[in-house]
Homo-oligomer: A and B are copies of this chain.
Amino acid sequence: MVMSTGELADVTGSESGMTKWVYNFGGDTSEGGAGLRNLLGGKGANLAEMAAIGLPVPPGFTITTEVCTYFYANDRQYPADLNDQIAAGVASIERAVGAKFGDPENPLLVSVRSGARVSMPGMMDTVLNLGLNDETVEGLARASGDPRFAYDSYRRFIQMYADVVMGVDHHDFEDLLSLRKDLAGVEQDMDLTAEDLKALIQEYRDLVVSELGKPFPQDVHEQLWGAVSAVFGSWQIHRAVVYRRLHGIPEEWGTAVNVQAMVFGNMGENCATGVAFTRDPGNGENIFFGEFLVNAQGEDVVAGIRTPQHLTVRGKNLQGSTLPAMEEVMPALFGELNDIRSTLESHYKEMQDVEFTVQNGKLYMLQTRTGKRTGKAAIKIARDMVAEGLIDKKTAVLRVEPQSLDQLLHPALDPNVEKKVIGKGLPASPGAASGRIVFSADQAEKWAHDGEKVMLCRVETSPEDIHGMHAAEGIVTTRGGMTSHAAVVARGMGRPCVAGAGDVTIDYAAGTFSVGDAALKEGDWITIDGAAGEIFAGRVPTVQPEFGEDFAAIMAWADEVRRLGVRANAETPEDVRTARDFGAEGIGLCRTEHMFFEGDRIVAVREMILAETEEGRRAALDQILPMQRADFVELFTIMKGLPVTVRLLDPPLHEFLPREKSEFDEIAAGTGVSVEKVRRRAAQLQESNPMLGHRGCRLLNSYPEICEMQARAIFEAALIAAEQTGEPAHVEVMIPLVGMKKELDLLKAVIDRTADQVAAEKGAAPPYTVGTMIELPRAALRAGEIADSAAFFSFGTNDLTQTALGISRDDAGSFLGAYERQGIIESDPFQTLDTEGVGELISLARERGRATRPGLKTGICGEHGGDPRSIAFCEQVGLDYVSCSPFRVPIARLAAAQAAIRAEQES
Q: Which residues of chain B have C-beta atoms less than 8 A from A777's C-beta?
A: 777, 803-806, 837, 841
Q: Which residues of chain B have C-beta atoms less than 8 A from A760's C-beta?
A: none
User: B818 near A702 (CB under 8 angstroms)?
Assistant: yes
Q: Which residues of chain B have C-beta atoms less than 8 A from A188's C-beta?
A: none
Q: Which residues of chain B have C-beta atoms less than 8 A from A803's C-beta?
A: 777, 803-804, 806
A 733-792 contacts with B by CB, 8 A: 737, 739-740, 742-743, 746, 775-778, 781-782
C-alpha gap A814/B652 in the complex (Å): 11
Which of A694, A810, A818 is the most central at the interface, judged by chain B CB atoms within 10 Å of its CB? A694
User: B702 near A808 (CB under 8 angstroms)?
Assistant: no
Tell me if A613 counts as interface (CB < 8 A to partner B): no
User: B781 near A837 (CB under 8 angstroms)?
Assistant: yes
Tell me if A823 counts as interface (CB < 8 A to partner B): yes
C-alpha gap A751/B814 in the complex (Å): 23
A 800-841 contacts with B by CB, 8 A: 802-808, 810-811, 814-815, 818-819, 822-825, 834, 836-838, 840-841
User: B822 near A805 (CB under 8 angstroms)?
Assistant: no
Q: Looking at chain A, what size class is its interface with the partner chain? A: 35 or more
Which of A103-111, A685-693, A717-725 forms contacts with chain B?
A685-693
Closest to A775 in B: B806
Closest to A839 in B: B781
Given A742-B823, A824-B742: A778 touches B688 (CB 8 Å cut-off): no
Q: Which of B746, B818, B837 contacts A739 (CB 8 A)?
A: B837
Q: Which residues of chain B have C-beta atoms less than 8 A from A701's C-beta?
A: 815, 818-819, 822, 824
C-alpha gap A815/B693 in the complex (Å): 9
Q: Which residues of chain B have C-beta atoms less than 8 A from A776's C-beta?
A: 804-806
Q: Which of B692, B819, B823 contacts A689 (CB 8 A)?
A: B692
Q: Which of B699, B811, B840 contacts A688 (CB 8 A)?
A: B811
Q: Which residues of chain B have C-beta atoms less than 8 A from A687's C-beta?
A: 808, 810-811
Given A701-B824, A740-B824, A815-B702: A806 touches B837 (CB 8 Å cut-off): no
Tell me if A857 counts as interface (CB < 8 A to partner B): no
Closest to A844 in B: B781
Tell me if A863 counts as interface (CB < 8 A to partner B): no
Tell me if A698 counts as interface (CB < 8 A to partner B): yes
User: B824 near A804 (CB under 8 angstroms)?
Assistant: no
C-alpha gap A746/B808 in the complex (Å): 22
Closest to A689 in B: B808
Q: Which of B818, B823, B837 contacts A782 (CB 8 A)?
A: B837
User: A778 near B804 (CB under 8 angstroms)?
Assistant: yes
Q: Which residues of chain B have C-beta atoms less than 8 A from A694's C-beta?
A: 811, 814-815
C-alpha gap A470/B157 in the complex (Å): 73
Tell me if A799 counts as interface (CB < 8 A to partner B): yes
Q: Which residues of chain B have C-beta atoms less than 8 A from A740's C-beta?
A: 824-825
Q: Which residues of chain B have C-beta atoms less than 8 A from A834's C-beta?
A: 778
Q: Which residues of chain B have C-beta atoms less than 8 A from A805's C-beta?
A: 739, 776-778
Q: Which residues of chain B have C-beta atoms less than 8 A from A775's C-beta?
A: 806
C-alpha gap A683/B698 in the complex (Å): 30
Q: Which residues of chain B have C-beta atoms less than 8 A from A782's C-beta?
A: 836-837
C-alpha gap A804/B838 in the complex (Å): 12
Q: Which residues of chain B have C-beta atoms less than 8 A from A737's C-beta?
A: 806
Quickly give the copy total for this chain.
2
Q: Which residues of chain B have C-beta atoms less than 8 A from A693's C-beta?
A: 808, 811, 814
A 645-694 contacts with B by CB, 8 A: 687-694
Closest to A699 in B: B815
Closest to A801 in B: B778
Instruction: Tell me, rounded to whole Å, the shortest Cβ–Cβ distance linking A244 to chain B.
Output: 15
C-alpha gap A739/B807 in the complex (Å): 9
Q: Which residues of chain B have C-beta atoms less than 8 A from A819's C-beta?
A: 698, 701
Instruction: Tell me, rounded to whole Å, the shortest Cβ–Cβ distance linking A697 to chain B.
Output: 9
Q: Which residues of chain B have C-beta atoms less than 8 A from A822's C-beta?
A: 701, 742, 746
Q: Which residues of chain B have C-beta atoms less than 8 A from A837's C-beta?
A: 739, 777-778, 781-782
Given A701-B815, A777-B804, A805-B778: A688 touches B690 (CB 8 Å cut-off): yes
Which of A698, A737, A743, A778 is the most central at the interface, judged by chain B CB atoms within 10 Å of its CB? A778
C-alpha gap A288/B498 in the complex (Å): 83
Which of A701, A776, A803, A840 is the most central at the interface, judged by chain B CB atoms within 10 Å of its CB? A803
C-alpha gap A804/B777 in the complex (Å): 5
User: B778 near A810 (CB under 8 angstroms)?
Assistant: no
Closest to A698 in B: B815
Closest to A806 in B: B776
C-alpha gap A182/B689 in the complex (Å): 63
Instruction: Tell me, rounded to whole Å, the shortest Cβ–Cβ distance linking A660 to chain B.
Output: 16
User: A692 near B781 (CB under 8 angstroms)?
Assistant: no
C-alpha gap A823/B749 in the complex (Å): 15
Q: Which residues of chain B have C-beta atoms less than 8 A from A691's C-beta?
A: 688-689, 692, 806, 808
User: B810 near A688 (CB under 8 angstroms)?
Assistant: yes
Instruction: Tell me, rounded to whole Å, the shortest Cβ–Cβ distance linking A888 to chain B.
Output: 25
Q: Which residues of chain B have C-beta atoms less than 8 A from A698's C-beta?
A: 815, 819
Closest to A802 in B: B692
Contact pattern, A 464-505, Cβ under 8 Å of B = 1, otherwise 0: 000000000000000000000000000000000000000000
User: A781 near B840 (CB under 8 angstroms)?
Assistant: yes
Q: Which residues of chain B have C-beta atoms less than 8 A from A742's C-beta?
A: 822-824
Given A692-B692, A777-B841, A825-B740: A799 touches B806 (CB 8 Å cut-off): yes
Instruction: Tell me, rounded to whole Å, the shortest Cβ–Cβ distance linking A574 to chain B.
Output: 29
Show 30 A/B contacts (Cβ-Cβ < 8 Å), sorted by A.
A687-B808, A687-B810, A688-B808, A688-B810, A689-B689, A689-B690, A689-B810, A692-B806, A693-B814, A694-B815, A698-B815, A698-B819, A699-B815, A701-B822, A701-B824, A702-B814, A739-B805, A739-B806, A740-B824, A746-B822, A775-B806, A776-B804, A776-B805, A777-B777, A777-B805, A777-B841, A778-B805, A778-B806, A778-B834, A799-B806
A residues whose Cβ falls under 8 Å from a Cβ of B? 687-694, 698-699, 701-702, 737, 739-740, 742-743, 746, 775-778, 781-782, 799, 802-808, 810-811, 814-815, 818-819, 822-825, 834, 836-838, 840-841
**Interface contacts beyond A688-B691, A691-B692, A691-B808: sample of 15 additional A-B pairs, CB < 8 Å, sorted by A:** A692-B811, A694-B811, A694-B814, A701-B815, A701-B818, A737-B806, A742-B824, A743-B824, A776-B804, A776-B806, A777-B806, A777-B837, A778-B837, A781-B841, A803-B806
Closest 3 CB pairs of A and B: A692-B808, A778-B837, A689-B808
